[in-house]
C-alpha cells in the first residue's frame, strides 16, 4: 500500500456511474434521419460552387449505380468485369456464349 497522499484520492467510486443514475438519463432524440437532406435541393443555402460539386457527385453516383446494376452476373456474365473497367475472363466469355445459345434454343422451342 502506498504511503503517498490521502486514501480518499484512490477511491474510484466517484468516477463510476451509479446504476440508479443510468436510468435517469433522458432518451435520445432521433436526429439526423436518413434522406432528411437532398443534395439537389433548390432551396438550400449553399454557394453555386458547392451546388455544382454536389450535382457532379450525384451524377457520378447515378452512373455508378447504373453500371453496378448491370453488373449482375445472372443478367450478363461479362457485366462485373466491364463495370470495373476490366476485360472479361475467358470463363465469363464462355458463360456468355452458353447463355446466348440457351436463349436461342428457348426461342426456337417457343415458336
Any domain includes 30 = no
C-alpha 84/C-alpha 74 separation (Å) is 17
Any domain includes 62 = yes
For the chain, the domain total comes to 1
Any domain includes 35 = no
Alpha helices in the chain (DSSP H): 19-22, 48-69, 79-83, 90-110
Any domain includes 51 = yes
DSSP class of residue 28 equals P
User: How does pLDDT run across 43-95, given as a tens digit for each residue?
Assistant: 777 788 888 888 898 898 888 887 777 667 777 888 888 877 889 899 989 99
Any domain includes 64 = yes
- The pLDDT mean for the chain works out to 76
Any domain includes 29 = no
pTM of the model: 0.38
Any domain includes 20 = no
- Give the domain extent around 95: 46-111
CA-based radius of gyration for the chain: 31
Any domain includes 83 = yes
Amino acid at each position: 500500500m502506498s504511503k503517498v497522499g490521502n486514501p480518499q484520492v484512490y477511491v474510484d467510486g466517484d468516477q463510476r456511474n451509479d446504476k440508479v443514475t443510468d436510468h435517469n438519463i433522458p432518451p435520445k432524440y432521433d436526429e439526423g434521419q436518413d434522406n432528411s437532406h437532398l443534395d439537389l435541393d433548390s432551396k438550400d443555402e449553399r454557394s453555386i460552387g458547392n451546388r455544382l460539386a454536389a450535382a457532379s457527385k450525384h451524377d457520378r453516383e447515378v452512373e455508378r449505380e447504373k453500371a453496378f446494376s448491370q453488373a449482375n452476373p445472372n443478367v450478363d456474365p461479362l457485366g462485373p468485369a466491364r463495370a470495373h473497367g476490366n476485360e472479361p475472363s475467358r470463363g465469363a466469355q464462355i458463360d456468355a456464349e452458353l447463355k446466348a445459345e440457351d436463349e436461342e434454343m428457348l426461342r426456337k422451342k417457343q415458336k
